[in-house]
């Protein structure tokens, strides 16, 4: 295991080289994955995020969420990479960690990761001045530069604006579309190979409509704690119908947005015991409804543009 500590302005982080199941050495035989299809690439756009927070009762606890990488085009062949997640997932965290897959010969080395531990975690994230926008972004330039200087290669695939839902595209989509979300529901992931979980669902409201007047739409999918920050895609392979019923030939992959919240059904019940007239307390229960709230892709890029305009 190798440890590196560094300070860049207010950012302090430690990079750990980790191999699942055993101590890694140069003599070991890593498992390299051939990533050739679009679906395979999507598994390497996400990042597992673990945060350490203090509960209202003053007790420390660890929370797990999903992040993903956005590659933002700066023009003139330059780009800037950001880690993106939901604001509530990282807000108040005094420490956090996330994981990059190690690359060998241009391929992901399954089970080998660079684990990035960041102190004062919440203050490293940039958010909109509108505190109702549940989106947070972290510039990755400093971390990527440090890894590169040590000749440590990482494997990831960034989501770009070019593959994203944007105004003018809505005529291509029907009101109900199949979707895929990738992340770490309830913290679940492949602990041996360090890859996330893909799940399917459908759009529950039309993409062309801003749900509740906000830049959001709903999905009908099994969304659990840990899914917050999961990227949502349309993935069509071979052929697919458009909203006019025409069959299009080819592949279609569109980044739709990011899971922000899940809908809960709250039920309050009164307990009665036959033959006993005493009053018993009410019981309150919550049940997940398999409905997720998704911020549309343009809202995410709006936050990135906003923080960049502030010189960050």
What is the per-residue pLDDT across 175-233, written as a single tens digit (0 to 9) for each?
999 999 999 998 999 999 999 999 999 999 999 999 999 999 999 998 888 889 999 99
Three-class SS of 12-79? EEEEEEEECCCCCCCCCCCEECCCCCHHHHHCCCEEEEEEEEECCCCCEEEEEEEEEEEEEEEECCEE
Beta bridge partners of 287: 265
| Residue 181: predicted pLDDT | 95
pTM over 0.75: yes
Lowest mean pLDDT of 169-183, 214-228, 234-248, 272-286, name the range: 272-286
| Residue 18: predicted pLDDT | 61
Band of residue 75 on the pLDDT scale cut at 50, 70, 90: confident
Q: What average pLDDT score do residues 248-276 get? A: 74
| Residue 202: predicted pLDDT | 96
Do 298 and 277 contact (CB within 8 A), yes or no?
no
Band of residue 168 on the pLDDT scale cut at 50, 70, 90: confident
Q: What average pLDDT score do residues 257-285 get? A: 62
What domains are there in the chain, each with its CATH number?
Answer: 3-161+301-309 (2.40.10.10), 162-296 (2.40.10)
């Amino acid at each position: 295991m190798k440890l590196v500590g560094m300070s860049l302005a207010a950012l302090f982080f430690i990079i750990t080289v980790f191999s699942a199941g055993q101590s890694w050495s140069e003599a070991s035989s890593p498992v390299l994955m051939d990533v050739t299809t679009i679906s395979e690439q999507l598994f390497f756009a996400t990042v597992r995020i673990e945060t350490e927070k203090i509960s209202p009762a003053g007790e420390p606890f660890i929370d797990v969420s999903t992040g993903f990488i956005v590659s933002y085009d700066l023009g003139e062949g330059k780009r800037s990479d950001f880690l993106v997640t939901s604001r509530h997932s990282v807000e108040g965290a005094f420490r956090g960690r996330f994981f990059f897959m190690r690359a060998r010969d241009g391929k992901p080395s399954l089970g080998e990761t660079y684990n990035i531990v960041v102190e004062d975690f919440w203050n490293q994230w940039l958010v909109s001045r509108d505190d109702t926008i549940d989106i947070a972004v972290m510039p990755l330039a400093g971390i990527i530069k440090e890894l590169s200087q040590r000749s440590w290669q990482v494997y990831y695939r960034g989501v770009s604006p070019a593959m994203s839902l944007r105004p003018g595209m809505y005529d291509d989509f029907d009101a109900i579309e199949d979707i895929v979300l990738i992340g770490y529901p309830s913290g679940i992931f492949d602990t041996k190979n360090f890859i996330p979980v893909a799940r399917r669902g459908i759009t529950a409201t039309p993409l062309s409509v801003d749900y509740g007047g906000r830049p959001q739409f709903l999905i009908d999918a099994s969304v659990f704690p840990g899914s917050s920050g999961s990227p949502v895609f349309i993935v069509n392979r071979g052929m697919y119908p458009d909203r006019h019923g025409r069959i299009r030939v080819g592949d279609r992959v569109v980044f739709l947005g990011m899971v922000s919240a899940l809908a809960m059904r709250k039920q309050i019940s009164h307990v009665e015991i036959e033959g006993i007239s005493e009053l018993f307390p009410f019981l309150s229960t919550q049940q997940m409804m398999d409905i997720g709230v998704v911020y549309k892709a343009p809202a995410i890029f709006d936050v990135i543009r906003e923080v960049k305009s502030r010189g960050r």
